[in-house]
Each structure stands twice: as structure tokens, then as C-alpha cells.
Chains A and B, each alone.
Chain A
Amino acid sequence: MNSLKVIFDFDTWQEIFGSIAKNKTRTVITVIGVLWGIFIYITLSGAAKGLDNGFEREFEDMAMNSMFVWPQRTSVPYAGFKVGRYPRFTISNVKDLKRQIPEIQYIAPRNARGVFGGTQPASVVHKEISRTYNIYGDFPEYTKIATKKIYKGGRFINEGDQRNNRKVCVIGERTQEELFDEDENPLGKYIRINNVYFQVIGVHKYLEGGGFETDGDIFIPFNTFRNLYNTGEYVDWFTIAAYADADVVAVEKNVKDVLKKIHKVAPEDERAFGSFNIGEVFNRISGFANGMTFLSLVVGLATILAGVIGIGNILLISVKERTKELGVRRALGATPGEVRIQILLESVFLTLVAGIVGIILGAAVLAIINLATQNQSDFPYTNPTVPIPLVLGALATMVVLGTLIGLIPAQRAVSIKPIDALREE
């Protein structure tokens, strides 16, 4: 009989089920070892993938190589200035930064009210309704750095708005909801912001994550904002995007160095400017997720290995217990090869069943986690999945390990001579 025939023979499996079913408790206990291993592997690596996906979603509206830079207070006296000065950015800094740092692709200076530093949000009135919202003065470039999804028919601020100091605004979903009737199209309508009439040109779709922005934000042209709030040349902070191939950490440092020189801040003053580098943070997070994937691989493999060794042990015991039976089989004409393949198949079968059950349980847990976190925008966790190739790889690993470990009891089974196996005690 060749081995392929053995594998596909119903009786081979009957033999295997027979011997497995005989030791139910022990079979279950061993199977649990491998099952636990694959379960841990699947859940951990799925969770890692979910975190990875989640962080990606959190920042999906921001360019990966972008950063914010804002002024704080100086902490080192320099060039005749005392400590604690607030070096405010100006619109002319943009030109200097662009000239001195060629890696910069876009700079969007921004001003805002209601967001930071105890400033008042804008008071907005439409018909009888009056509310307050955070308001931003923006350049059209801003959408190159942070995507702003605008609802159909509307648009973001453009060059023309900027040049002509147009009194136009982009409002948030919530703003629309709160100020306008349900069937009222806000586009082209006027609202009063700090007693000045602005025409609504777009409604932006709120994206989860993305830092401090909300679904009520109002965006107006930078120049219009300057007139409205009398901010002159001042800029609250810069949003900067580097070219895709640039080293974002180096660009961040260059930007600060240039700004220090312009604003006469000591080169060693680390506290004068604050910054947040999305590229760096993202790298760190995906590094963490990668680390977790790796960890789950190591832990999972180690547990699977321990489980498989457990199966080998049980089979060894069961071979010892079945010495007589194996002797009878040999007397009836079972060749050593047939005995060996039977024990091997038992090992592989146990490992495989344990593996498949583990994968199913793992997938179920991942599905439950997914359901539980689906509607939570503040928890960065999306689509916890384990790629099919990884699952198949794990199964293949288990078949290989099951075969290898099965070789030990299989060899033991054939090393006993039939006459010794049959000897009456």
C-alpha cells in the first residue's frame, strides 16, 4: 500500500479516530495546548493589525510627512532679550522657510480663535439662531497638507478668495445642522460672524481623529481673518508638509533652526517652539504595531511548539499503551511503514484540528472586538484581521511540526518487535 492511499482511505481515518476517541480527556488536554497557541497568535496579530489600521485611520486626512510648529515662551536669554518672551510668527516667515529649506513642499500659516490659549470662539448668527464656533483663517494650501472633504456642490477657500479678501466661509456639518433647517441648502446663504456677513461656500465633512479640529469648525480666508480680528502680520502656527522623500525629522529641526534665527531665539533653546511631527509619530506607532505583530508571532509560535511537543508526548504514551495492539497489527500483516504513517497521521490530525479550532476561536474573538470598537471613534482600532497567507502559513507550520514531533512516537512504535509486543505479561 502506498502512503497516499493510506491517507485517503476511510479506514485509516477510522483507525485514527478510534485511537483518538479512546483517550478523550487526554486528547482534549493536548489539543488545547496547540489550540491555545494558535489562538494567541491569531488574536494578538489580528489586534496588532487592528491597531495599525486604527492609527492609520486616525491620521488618514493628514499628509504622512507633515508637521505643526507653534511658538511658546523662550527659556534662554539671548541677544539682549529676557527669558519668557513669546516669539510670534509672521507671514513673512513663510518666504524665508521656503527659501532656506528646499525639502518643504507646502506651508500653510494658520490663525484661529477658540482653539488655543483662551481665545474666544466666533459668535455666529443665522436668522434667529446664535451660536459660537471655532474659526480658522486658512490658505488654500492647507488642503494640500490636510485633506478637507467638502460636501457636493461646495468648495474650500481658493486663491481668489484670498486675493480679494472675500467674506466667504466653509462651515462644519454640525454648524449646518445647528444653524440651518434640514431642507435648507446653506450654499450661497449668508451667516453673520462677529457681526460681519459671510457667504457659505462649502460644508466640510468631519473626519474622525486628526487632532483638535471638530465638526463645527468654520474656515475663512487667511486675509479675511486678518481683517476680522486685526491680526496684522501675525501667524498662530505653521502647518508644513515636506516632500515625500524628505527626512521629516531633519526638516522639523531645520524649520525650528531657521525660525530661531529669524526670531532671535538662542540656538539651544528647546522650549521656544513647539512642534508635532505626524510622520515621526506615525513611524513610532507603526513600529509599535510591527513589534506587536512580531511579538505575537514569537509568543504564538512558542505556544504552538509547546502544544505540539505535548501532542508528541501523549502519542508517545499512547504508543506505549498500545504496544499490544500494534503487535497484533504487525502479526496480521501491518508493515513498519504502515504503522509509522498511522502514528504520524494521528499527530498531524490532532495538530491540525487543534489549529483549525484555534483559528476559528481567534477569528471569533477578533470579530467580537471589532463589533465592540466599531462605533468608538476615540479608540484607534479598525478591522482587526489576520491576512490569509499568515493563517495558511501557521497551519502549514503546524502540519510540519506535527509531522516532525509525530516521528518520535512513530519510530518508537516500529522499534518494538512484534514478538515482544505480543508477549503475554
Chain B
Amino acid sequence: MISIKNLHKSYRMGDSSLHVLKGIDLDIKEGELVAIMGSSGSGKSTLLNILGMLDSIDEGEYLLDNVLIEGLTETTAANYRNKFLGFIFQSFNLINYKNALENVALPLYYQGLGRKIRQAKAMEYLEKVGLKDWASHLPSELSGGQKQRVAIARAMASQPKVLLADEPTGALDSNTSNEVMGLIQQINNEGKTILVVTHELDIAHMCKRIVTLRDGVIVEDQKVEQVIVENHV
């Protein structure tokens, strides 16, 4: 599903340049649930942003579902993101003046789907994350865990090939973190490929594979025994 070879990324800061990713090789097959670990500043978010076509590659190759991702215009990148990728952020990034249902329906709007279909689909995914009854609530009326579940429903709604989650539990307490991870496992069990950036080891162990970054290179890449979360949803 994802294949990157010899990926390099530097940030220019004034005169100097910061080499963040120094030759990453990574293959992720369909249906995998991969945790990306590493200390702060090791380049986890940078890698995820590149995979999410939010950032460009300096050197190397990136194939998503056998499509070479290269030299994209903003518009094609937007269309690819819309079709292939779902994002889950640490700070949820829900739109505060839209209710849960409208937030979930937003990527479908950019897919050009009709209103009725959008609403039906959005409701379907809200139900999947157990928030059907909260459809008309604004984000400010939801708890952190509920917000993240809405965000997951939103990421799922456009039926992407890959879900990219940057510290999805970073802002949640351990109980709610487990809830969210349980949901991610459930989605993964249905066949979705998911990448989760985290620096919590117990969260990483709820995945099936852990990739560890240090100073811009992969220092460890191992399959793990998945800790199954009791599904609270």
C-alpha cells in the first residue's frame, strides 16, 4: 500500500539547513496497523506529513497504492488527500461552528457528493463510532474522547485507503486513549491500513508493528503481539 525508498527531507532555516529525514525505507502492506515511535524531534510528524502529501520530498520515492507521488500541484494533492487519505490529529481539528454530523460530512462535500448522501453517510460513520445521538452537538459540547471519535468518523467517511494519525491520543487520558485505540483497532480489523504516530509505548503495543525513528533514520522495525483493547464503544 505504501512504499518509500531512500526518503530525504531537509528544512531550510535562514542560511543553515536542518536534515530531518536521512534516507527512510519503509514498506507498509494493506491492512497493517503501524505505530511510529521516536523521541521528540526525531521526524515522526515530518514523515507522516510527507505520507499525507502535505509536505514535499527532497529526495527519494513515494508510492501510494502503486501510484508514484511526485511533483503534485496543490489541487491534485488536495484531490488525492480527499480520495486516498484520512487524517486524525492530536488536537482533533474539528470545525467549531459545525456540529458533529456536519464535521463528518465535510470531506464528502469536497468529494462532490449530494447533500442527502453526505448526511446519510456521515450518520452511518457517526453510528460506527458510537456517537449517533450526538450528531447535532457542537464540538464544544463534546468531551475530548468524543471529539476524537468524531474526527475518526470524519477521516473514515471518505473511505480512504490509509488513515494517518499523529498522536491521536496525545491529548486524552488513558481511559479515553484506550477507547480511541479500540476504535482504531476495530477499523483496522475491517481491513483499513493505519499509521499511528505516538510516543507512548502502551499505545504502540496496541498496533501490529512498531517502527522507531531516531535522528531521521529508522533504527528499529518489528512486528509485535497486538494488545487488544476491550471495546468500550
Residues of A that sit less than 8 Å from B by CB: 1, 5, 9-11, 14, 18-19, 21-22, 324-325, 328-338, 414, 417-419, 422, 424
Contacts and interface: CB of A to CB of B under 8 A. Distances in A.
A334 B78 contact: yes
Contacts of B95: 18, 325, 328-329
A333 B110 contact: yes
Given A422-B54, A424-B90, A334 B110 contact: yes
A332 B98 contact: no
B101 to A, nearest CB: 12
B54 A337 contact: no
Interface stretch (B79-87, B127-135, B222-230): B79-87
Given A330-B74, A335-B75, 11 more contacts: A5-B112, A9-B115, A330-B81, A332-B110, A333-B82, A333-B110, A333-B158, A334-B110, A336-B78, A417-B54, A422-B89
B93 A333 contact: no
Given A10-B115, A18-B98, A338-B110, A330 B78 contact: yes
B141 to A, nearest CB: 16
Nearest to A21: B97
Contacts of B78: 330, 333-336
B106 interface: yes
Interface string B52-77: 10110000000000000000001100
B154 to A, nearest CB: 7
Given A11-B109, A11-B115, A336-B78, A331 B97 contact: no
A5 B107 CA distance: 16
Nearest to B90: A424
A335 B54 contact: no
A332 B54 contact: no
A331 B52 contact: yes
Contact of A333 (B89, B97, B111, B118): B111
Contacts, number: 70
B49 interface: yes
Interface string B164-201: 00000000000000000000000000000000000000
Contact of A331 (B87, B90, B111): B87
A14 B99 CA distance: 12
A333 B55 contact: no
A324 B93 CA distance: 8
Contacts of A5: 112
Nearest to B111: A333
A180 B162 CA distance: 102
Given A21-B97, A422-B89, A332 B75 contact: no
Nearest to B118: A11
Contacts of A336: 74-75, 78
A331 B77 CA distance: 9
B91 interface: yes
Contacts of A22: 97
B75 A329 contact: no
Given A328-B93, A419-B49, A424-B90, A333 B79 contact: yes
Contacts of B87: 331-332
Contacts of A330: 74, 78, 81
A328 B93 CA distance: 7
25 contacts: A1-B112, A11-B109, A11-B118, A18-B95, A18-B97, A21-B97, A331-B52, A331-B81, A331-B93, A332-B106, A332-B107, A333-B81, A333-B82, A333-B83, A333-B111, A334-B78, A335-B79, A336-B74, A336-B78, A338-B110, A419-B49, A419-B54, A419-B55, A422-B89, A422-B93
